């Protein structure tokens, strides 16, 4: 039977069980190598049918979180097997809170991909791509911005660069990890310092200028600098404390 979740969305019993077990794995309540409680115990705890429980475990197995072993049970897999490119896995992870290690790993992935995307965008961008980038940059450059009002156009600016690469694999990357990037941008938004905000805007503008000039190497370098700056701003914002966030699975891009 569907249930109303705390965010106001209707969730099926399958969704709720899957989410709860996944969060226990991602939060290391169940660690790699652990065998999940037996079916009877889980059925009693969640008050669900055996069919509903087994469907949830199949979903978790498909996402790389667990593996079923005959005569042993369902075992938790090491994190190297988890599919972090699955939007649900990312959303569950974000619900547990974001720490500096998570952000560093995310920035490493961005550093590996986004400078190359910026270089492709410099070669392949259309006038429409440029126009949208300019609009998003203008939205970032506003006084009295909040973390959300700064982070959202920042996300859209970066997403537009991925779109301007006209590479379907790169374009898909942005939509897959959109929620985690928005989370990172909210944390790293330099809104508490006019000087850092101005510097961030100028560095984003440099990316746009290099893309306009069709300067692939320059666009790549400028993008790399912005990503490094983001790591520094996130460190300033977070210190050593994890930040708990509440984000939708995805955000609509204008």
Q: For residue 180, give the nearest of 108, 224, 245 by alpha carbon.
A: 245
**Position with higher pLDDT, 240 vs 34:** 34
Q: Report the pLDDT averaged over residues 74-82.
A: 96
Cα separation values, 60 from 2, 19, 179, Å? 20, 9, 20
Burial class (CB in 10 A: 0-12, 13-18, 19+), 208: buried
Instruction: Give the pLDDT band (50/70/90) at residue 185.
Output: confident
| pLDDT(209) > 60 | yes
| pLDDT(236) > 90 | no
What is residue 238's predicted lDDT score, i.e. its pLDDT? 66
Dist CA 103 CA 43 (whole Å): 36
The pTM (predicted TM-score) of the whole model is 0.79
Q: What is the three-class DSSP state of 27?
A: coil
Cα separation values, 136 from 88, 152, 254, Å? 27, 9, 10
Dist CA 75 CA 61 (whole Å): 10
Q: What is the mean pLDDT of the chain?
A: 86
């Amino acid at each position: 039977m569907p249930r109303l979740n705390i965010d106001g969305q209707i969730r099926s019993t399958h969704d709720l069980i899957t989410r709860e077990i996944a969060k226990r794995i991602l939060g290391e309540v169940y660690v790699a190598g652990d065998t999940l409680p037996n079916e009877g115990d889980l059925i009693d705890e969640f008050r669900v049918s055996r069919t509903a429980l087994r469907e949830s475990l199949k979903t978790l197995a498909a996402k790389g979180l667990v593996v079923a072993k005959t005569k042993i049970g369902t075992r938790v897999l090491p994190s190297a097997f988890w599919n972090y490119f699955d939007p649900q896995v990312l959303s569950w992870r974000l619900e547990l809170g974001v720490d500096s290690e998570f952000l560093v790993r995310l920035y490493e992935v961005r550093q590996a991909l986004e400078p190359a995307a910026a270089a492709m965008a410099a070669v392949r961008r259309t006038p429409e791509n440029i126009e949208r980038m300019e609009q998003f940059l203008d939205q970032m450059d506003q006084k009295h911005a909040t973390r959300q009002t700064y982070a959202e156009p920042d996300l859209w600016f970066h997403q537009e660069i991925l779109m301007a690469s006209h590479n379907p694999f790169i374009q898909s990357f942005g939509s897959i990890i959109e929620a985690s990037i928005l989370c990172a941008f909210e944390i790293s938004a330099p809104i508490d310092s006019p000087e850092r905000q101005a510097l961030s805007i100028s560095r984003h503008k440099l990316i746009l200028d290099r893309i306009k000039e069709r300067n692939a190497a320059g666009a790549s370098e400028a993008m790399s600098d912005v990503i490094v700056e983001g790591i520094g701003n996130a460190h300033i914002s977070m210190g050593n404390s994890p930040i708990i966030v509440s984000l939708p699975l995805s955000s609509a891009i204008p």
